[in-house]
Amino acid sequence: MAIPPSGRHDNASPGRPKVQRIASYVLYGVLVLVALWTVRDFIPAVAWACVIAIALWPLLTRIEGLPGLRGRTTFISLVLTAAVMLLVVLPIALAIARGAAEAHELLGWFHSIQHDGIPMPAFVGRLPYGSQQISNWWQANLAPPLGQSPAMKTFHGDEFVTLSRHAGARAVHALVLFGFTLLTLFVIFRAGPKLSGSLIQGAQRAFGEDGAQLAQQMASAVRGTVTGLVVVGLGEGALLCVAYALGGVPHATLLGLVTAVAAMLPFCAPIVFGCVALWLLTQGSMVAAIAIAVFGSVVVFIAEHFARPLLIGNSSRLPFLLVLFGILGGAQTFGLIGLFIGPALMTVLMVLWQDWVG
């Protein structure tokens, strides 16, 4: 009985190619995970850049089709990236400039309450319920000088320094993240149709024609979410800006801008106009405070339950409940970027369910 030479039997084994394919897949998976772990700190910047690029992609293709701009991809990418930067930086710069202009007045108010405390508003005594409890708490915590107030004694200087350092570090991190987001966005715009074509081709090769269609539906869901959040938020901010101006609120335009930014996040606009209504109440303008609170509640109710789900749901063909769960669940799971990832994942779930039930 002849014994086959060493190694010849292994190469002739029919299971050898299968083992090699499995080993290759495992090696590829490990290399991908290692690569993602290496660039893990930059993944949020890439995710934000992808969301912005998906939202602006129709505008990019339309501009590239103009007769005078054909072939000038670098110039178009630079202009669009600069426009995105200005849309983010300009409102922040205006708010900082406004705050710096009023810093002297704010500092004087802070010094006054340090020595004299915060006087209790007159409307507290006219409240139908809880006026005595609120008055007692106010007299004990806010009416005394700020340095002697029990509510402020736990806020020591060391804690303030630590909090300031933490806030500064977070601000620097956000600035660096924003810079890498802009750089990534420029590269994506610069790649243009070649990048989108290669992504669709890769999805088709990996998952077939259904995979390519699913990727396009996810992109539509992200684009619809951006449109729903931004457009509806700006609409809420504009309407409430008019209400602030009619109610006699100072700096109505700046507060309207803050409201618009807050309204881009689900159910955050009530925090802003609620504070405005509370301030009006402390100034004795009860009618204006109630009017802004009621009007703002109506605007937010219509925007959150009708306008926003309509814009997002039509683009991704998602029902209202999945849109709401996708936005809120995505924000809870992934943070701010989850507002756009959540509806895209709900789109995948909806497509898989439709394929399953036929």
Q: What is the pLDDT, as a whole number, of residue 17? A: 77
Contact 179, 155 (CB under 8 A): no
Q: What is the pLDDT, as a whole number, of residue 273? A: 93
- Predicted confidence band at 185 (pLDDT cuts at 50, 70, 90)? very high
Contact 226, 337 (CB under 8 A): no
| Interval 202-206 mean pLDDT | 74
The mean-pLDDT minimum among 13-17, 67-71, 207-211, 349-353 falls in: 13-17
The rounded percent of the chain whose pLDDT value lies above 90 is 16
**Residue carrying the six token digits 């895209």:** 344
Q: What is the pLDDT, as a whole number, of residue 291? A: 92
- Predicted confidence band at 236 (pLDDT cuts at 50, 70, 90)? very high
Q: What is the pLDDT, as a whole number, of residue 5? A: 54
Q: What is the pLDDT, as a whole number, of residue 182? A: 93
The mean-pLDDT minimum among 156-160, 309-313, 330-334 falls in: 156-160
3-state SS of 106-127 is HHHHHHHHHHHCCCCCHHHHHC
353 or 150: which leads in pLDDT: 353
- Predicted confidence band at 332 (pLDDT cuts at 50, 70, 90)? confident
3-state SS of 26-95 is HHHHHHHHHHHHHCHHHHHHHHHHHHHHHHHHHHHHHHHCCHHHCCCHHHHHHHHHHHHHHHHHHHHHHH
- Identify the CA nearest to 226 among candidates 319, 325, 315, 124: 315
Contact 344, 322 (CB under 8 A): no
Q: What is the pLDDT, as a whole number, of residue 165? A: 75
Q: What is the pLDDT, as a whole number, of residue 306? A: 81
- Burial class from Cβ neighbours inside 10 Å (0-12, 13-18, 19+) for residue 142 reads middle
- For residue range 13-32, what is the model confidence (pLDDT) as tens digits? 555 677 888 888 888 889 98
C-alpha to C-alpha distances, 255 to 269, 273, 306, nearest whole angstrom: 11, 9, 24
The mean-pLDDT minimum among 74-83, 84-93, 144-153, 229-238 falls in: 144-153
- Identify the CA nearest to 255 among candidates 231, 280, 230: 280
Q: For residues 339 and 266, what is the distance between their CA atoms, to the nearest angstrom? A: 9
Q: Which residues contact 127 (CB under 8 A, 6 or more apart)?
A: 134
Contact 121, 281 (CB under 8 A): yes
128 DSSP assignment: S
The rounded percent of the chain whose pLDDT value lies above 70 is 83
